[in-house]
Structures are given as C-alpha cells and as structure tokens.
C-alpha cells in the first residue's frame, strides 16, 4: 500500500535548519488499522501531511521517498497528486470546522466530494447525524465540533479511498460515538483492500481499534508493533 522512507522533515529559516522528524521508516499494508501515538507538538500532523506531499515546499524540507502502490510520490506531477488525494488518499484533520470553507454550505461538499450520494443517508443515521437535506443547508460555523468531525469522516470515507488518514478522530466525540467509530473503521478495512492510519493521543482508543501501534518519541518513529 504505502512505504515511507524519510530521512528527515525539517524547517529552514534564515539558512538555519530545524529538524522536526527524522528516521521515519514504515510500511502500511491493506486490511489493517495503524495508529501513531504522540503528545502535542510531537510532529504527528506534520508526518501524516507529508504522506501525500501536503506540506508547503516553501517552509518544509522533506528528504526521502514515499511509495504508494509502488509509485514514488515525489516523482508525480501536481495533477497526479491532486487525483491521488481525491481518489486514493483521504484525510480527516483535527480541526474539522476550519477544514471547511466558511462561505459554503455543507451541501457543497456533498455535491463536489461525494461520488455516490445514495450512501449518505445510511451513514448519517449510523453516526447519529441529521438528514442530508437538513445538513446541506448548514454552514460549517453552525456545526458543533463533534458533528463537523463525523461529517468529515463520512465525506472522506464514502468514496472508499485506499488509505484513510484520521487526525485525532476522537477529540470531539463522546463514548458512544467512539464505539460507533471503532466498529465503522474495523468494518471499513475488512471488506476491501483498504487501510486506515490514525494519529492520536488517545491510548485507550488506539488499543481498541488498532492492529498495530507506533509512537513518535525523541523526534523519531518507533517500529510498528502488533497490538496484542
């Protein structure tokens, strides 16, 4: 699925380099859920953004290779990367409300990012969300953090990307929603060759949902270990 060989991720400012992460070597396989644990400021979000080259090249320097289905992403054109992010790798970022355009209703995203709208009603019902018709008229700033997070998960997963990346997916969820999410993610990777990568501080959630867990420590990534 995806193989990461990153020597380092750094910021260069006024000819001074600050290394954020180094020695990032791991491989994610299909039909599994992986979790990366780390404290605030440990570089979790920076790492996952690097996996489809989302980091600003004017600020960040990334050295290494990232292979997705045997293709080195550093060799893809901008158009190929955009297609990859739309079809194959989808993200749900932690600050979901600000991930949406405040000038567009949620219906805009249903029309432009969802290939099959017929799946929306059942998923919204599953995640205890209002109807598609009601949500389509709402602006992002009218949503609670938890609602925005669940809507983002539905939008990201409904097109069945091969790699679904979730940044702190339980940060705005209560216990009932967390349990629904665990069941949903396990089902998501069980039926087709798909993979979920989660970054979180929530150890209990990680233990319940993951097949393998790693931790960012001392600006490096430990090897993935089976969650036994």
| pLDDT band per the 50, 70, 90 thresholds, residue 220 | low
Given a cut of 50, is residue 228 above it in pLDDT? Answer: no
pTM of the model: 0.88
What backbone torsions phi and psi does residue 146 show, to the nearest 5 degrees? -65, -40
- To 5 degrees, how large is the angle CA 183–CA 146–CA 162? 45
Given a cut of 90, is residue 39 above it in pLDDT? Answer: no
Q: Worst-scoring range by mean pLDDT, 90-99, 175-184, 196-205, 214-223?
A: 214-223
Q: What is the pLDDT of residue 165?
A: 95
What backbone torsions phi and psi does residue 186 show, to the nearest 5 degrees? -65, -40
With contact defined as beta carbons under 8 Å apart, do 135 and 129 qualify?
yes
Taking the domains of the chain in order of start, what are their residue ranges? 31-59+87-226
Question: Is residue 172 within a helix (H) or strand (E), and if so which, with residue range?
Answer: none
Question: Whole-number mean pLDDT of the chain?
Answer: 87
Name residues whose C-beta falls within 8 Å of residue 145's C-beta, 6 or more positions apart in sequence.
Answer: 96, 97, 171, 172
If one counts every other C-beta atom within 10 angstroms of the C-beta of residue 141, the result is 10
Only one residue has tokens 């290394």, namely 19
With contact defined as beta carbons under 8 Å apart, do 53 and 117 qualify?
no
| pLDDT band per the 50, 70, 90 thresholds, residue 219 | low
With contact defined as beta carbons under 8 Å apart, do 21 and 64 qualify?
no
What backbone torsions phi and psi does residue 142 show, to the nearest 5 degrees? -90, -5
Given a cut of 90, is residue 127 above it in pLDDT? Answer: yes
Tell me the mean pLDDT in the region 149-177.
Answer: 90
Task: Tell which CATH classification among 3.40.50.300, 1.10.3660.10, 1.20.58.220, 3.40.1190.20 matches the domain 31-59+87-226.
Answer: 3.40.50.300
Name which residue leads in pLDDT, 104 or 223: 104
């Amino acid at each position: 699925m995806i193989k990461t060989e990153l020597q380092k991720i750094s910021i260069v400012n006024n000819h001074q380099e600050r290394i954020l992460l180094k020695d990032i070597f791991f491989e994610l396989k299909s039909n599994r859920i992986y979790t990366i644990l780390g404290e605030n400021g440990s570089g979790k979000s920076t790492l996952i953004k690097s996996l489809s080259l989302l980091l600003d090249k004017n600020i960040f320097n990334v050295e290494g290779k990232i292979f997705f289905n045997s293709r080195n992403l550093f060799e893809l054109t901008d158009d190929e990367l955009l297609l990859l992010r739309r079809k194959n790798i989808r993200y749900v970022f932690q600050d979901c409300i600000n991930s949406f355009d405040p000038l567009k209703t949620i219906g805009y995203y249903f029309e432009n990012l969802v290939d099959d709208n017929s799946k929306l009603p059942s998923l919204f019902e599953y995640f205890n969300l209002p109807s598609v018709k009601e949500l389509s008229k709402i602006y992002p700033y009218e949503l609670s953090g938890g609602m925005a997070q669940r809507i983002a998960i539905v939008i990201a997963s409904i097109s069945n990307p091969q790699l679904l990346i979730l940044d702190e997916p339980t940060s705005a969820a209560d216990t009932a929603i967390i349990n629904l999410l665990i069941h949903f993610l396990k089902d998501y990777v069980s039926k087709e060759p798909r993979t979920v990568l989660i970054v979180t501080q929530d150890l209990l959630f990680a233990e319940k949902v993951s097949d393998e867990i790693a931790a960012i420590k001392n600006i490096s990534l430990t090897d993935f270990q089976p969650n036994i």
